[in-house]
Structure formats: structure tokens, C-alpha cells
Amino acid sequence: MNWDTLVIGSGIGGLTAAAALAREGQRVLVLEQHDILGGMTQTFARQGFSFGTGLHYLTGVTAPGDDEARFARLLNTLGDGTLRFQPLPDRFDLVRLIHPDGTETRFAYGAPEADNWARLKAQFPAEGLPSTRMPTSTSRRAAASTP
């Protein structure tokens, strides 16, 4: 068979691109080296625990006029148009840390982000976290330059 487009990789980006091209009439072949499709959107098991490696939740995708809303429109364009997002409540995730001595630290995590940072500072006062969170790009540069 003749293909109009070859897509290398079946992760979120590859499958999204393939679906968009197919929707426009392209004959698309997706090539994946792994025996399971999905790229980093799979699960794996270790010591009896299952871990999801992909996207767990999206925030900001339904806000009218926001750039993130473009993603919601894209998903509806690629599907049948019936995709609906379920709003997440504040503190929708529970983070549980088990320390080497067996003690646990638990805290709720969720939107808004500024509230998350304030609660992290309160939960871990000995860490000396800054008053405000550094922008992601600054954090990455700082982490990359740390020996």
C-alpha cells in the first residue's frame, strides 16, 4: 500500500498528528518500535505496584479564550465532537511521601498553583523554599547548573 505520511512514534504527539492527518484524508502509517502503542502513556509494574507514566489530568483546557482551550477544540475535532471535560475540584490529588524511617507525610495537591506552593512551604518549613515559586524555565536552568 502507498502511504501519504509516515509518523514515527505512537506517543501522544504521534497519534494526535496521525489522527489529524487522517481526518484530512491522508493515508497515514504510524511506526512504533515498542510492542505497545502509546509512547509514554502506558503503565508499568514494579514490586506489585502499577504506575501510569502518561497524562493524569489537564488543567486550563476549557477556559474560553485561553490558549489551552485550543487543545480541547483539537481533541473534539479529531473525535466525534462529544468530548466533555470534568472539572477538577481544588486539592484533587493526594500526595503521600513515605520517609526512610517509615513515617508518612500527606498533603492535598491541586489548583490554584499559588495555593499549592504556599501549602508545600508550610508542609516542609525546614527546606527553606522561596516565598514564590520560580518560573519553570528558571528552575530548569538552576537544576541543570547544580553539580
Give CA–CA dist 69/136, Å, rounded. Answer: 21
Residue with cell 505496584: 49
Is-above-0.75 flag for pTM?
no
Percent of the chain predicted with pLDDT > 70 = 79
Query: What is the pLDDT, as a whole number, of residue 3?
Result: 97
Give the pLDDT mean for 58-83. Answer: 74
Query: What is the pLDDT, as a whole number, of residue 141?
Result: 45
Query: If you write DSSP's letter for every residue of 96-122 in order, what string do you get?
Result: EEE-TTS-EEEEEE-S-HHHHHHHHHH
* One-letter identity of residue 70: R
112 φ, ψ (degrees, to nearest 5): -80, 155
Give the pLDDT mean for 90-96. Answer: 78
Domain ranges across the chain: 1-49, 57-87, 91-123
Query: Nearest-CA neighbor of 11 among 29, 31, 36, 37?
Result: 37
The reply to whether omega before 135 is within 30° of 0 (cis) is no
Give CA–CA dist 20/7, Å, rounded. Answer: 12
Percent of the chain predicted with pLDDT > 90 = 24
Beta-strand pair 43-46/49-52: antiparallel
Lowest mean pLDDT among 65-69, 83-87, 127-131: 65-69
